[in-house]
Structure 1
Amino acid sequence: MTNPQPGPGLVITPEGLTGRTGRYEKRLADLGGLFADETAFAARLTTDADRVVYHVDEFRPSTADGDLITGISTLSPGRVGAEFHMTRGHIHAQHDRTEIYHCLSGHGLMLMETLDGQTVVTELRPGVVAYVPPVHIHRSVNVGDTDLVTLFCYPADAGQDYDIIARAGGMRHRAVADADGDGWRLAENDGYVPR
């Protein structure tokens, strides 16, 4: 019997994902239109426009049916006005595809929404796995004071539709700091337009 050849492997390090096939970064300037408080966003841009709010390292072996994309998402702490840092969010272009997020470190939320505006939230802490069901818009929100780091995995043929959130004026609810500033709560999005 011959020794098998090692297959591709991924290693999670403090610097990111070793063995990744891609990386993208979103700076504060890339997130225009996400936050309700446009004045606070404009003020942050004067000093933090180039700050990386989140980055994603991914391993994308192929786009074939049955394959999986795996990666690490790192979302920095911070707020714009009362709203916590968040990812742009998306729904899968193939609406029946699911996704999981395993929280490795930090404190955050997986904010999910059905097409008819029903909100579902999974609070993320180390060891928690958030399951994103089919036909759910979803985004990560960092409600803590350290990086929110999650391992994600979804079918390679899922695709993403990022515009679905913009077309509705955002998601139905926003994650904002509570009155004493020590926690979070959901607030109605006044600009939301039902789909």
Structure 2
Amino acid sequence: MSTMPTLDTPVTLTISPDGGIDGRSRRYEKFLGDMAGVYRDAEAWQAAVSARGADELVYWVDDHRYQEGPGALIVGTSTLLPGRIGDEFAVTRGHLHAIADRAELYHCLSGHGVMLLETVDGQSMAVELTPGKAVNVPGHWIHRSVNVGDEPFVTLFCYAADAGQDYALIADAGGMKSLVVADGDGWMLTPNPDHTGYRKA
């Protein structure tokens, strides 16, 4: 005689356009001192650490997960504070999912940002995000949030709970293929001369 599986209980979450989730499962934070090797201009990063301190908050992530494994979703917010290191705008570390075919949705709640997107075979693009705009990132695309505005860039994200993250892929390649840098009052993409290509995921 079969029995019904134990079901998870639906959860109500309060999501703030200023960043953060009331009812989150966890929060993790990244500080300026954690960003070694993320920006191309290591001297500018070190100068920023010396001037502002290694414990200056750069971004934080709140997420909620109700279960693990296939079929479950993780919902969260990413809040990336404004700033620049050299000519580069503030960024998250970026990642490819450890299960590379897993997709992810990002919806901008506030601020002005860019989702920098690349594939291991050399495709590269940038999607500009402002409140109400979203990007559906397919599997096999590396993705990194960039704050090109002067306010916190807050996105709501959702992805499969079994996806995982591969952060080393970018570091091993000498950074992403493209950099998002200041261009007058705006931004532009410029090639990263240190990029050596991605290993096959």
Same fold (TM over 0.5): yes
| Structure-1 separation of matches of 2:88 and 2:20 | 26
2:14 maps to which residue? 11
Match of 2:143 in 1: 138
CA distance in 2, matches of 1:63, 1:95: 17
Amino acid at match of 2:62: D
Give identity over the alignment, percent: 54
Residues 81-160 of structure 1: pairs in structure 2 closer than 5 A: 81-160=86-165
- 1:35-74 paired onto structure 2 within 5 Å: 35-48=39-52, 49-74=54-79
2:168 maps to: 163
Alpha carbons of 1:84 and 1:156: their partners in 2 closer, same or farther (altered >3 Å)?
A: same
Task: Pick from 175, 181, 187 the counterpart of residue 184 of structure 1.
Answer: 187
Q: Write the letter of the residue equivalent to 1:150.
A: T
Poorly superposed stretches of 4+, deviation over 2 Å: none
The count of residues paired between Structure 1 and Structure 2 equals: 188
**Structure 2 runs not aligned, ≥5 long:** 1-8
Deviation string 1:167-188 (CA, Å, 9 cap, x unpaired) is 100100000001x2x0000111
* Contact 2:35 2:93 survives alignment (8 Å): yes
Structure-1-length-normalised TM-score: 0.94
C-alpha displacement of 1:7? 3.0
TM-score if structure 2 supplies the norm length?
Answer: 0.91
1:79 maps to a residue whose letter is R
Amino acid at match of 2:194: G
Q: CA deviation at 1:15?
A: 6.1
Superposition CA RMSD, Å: 1.1
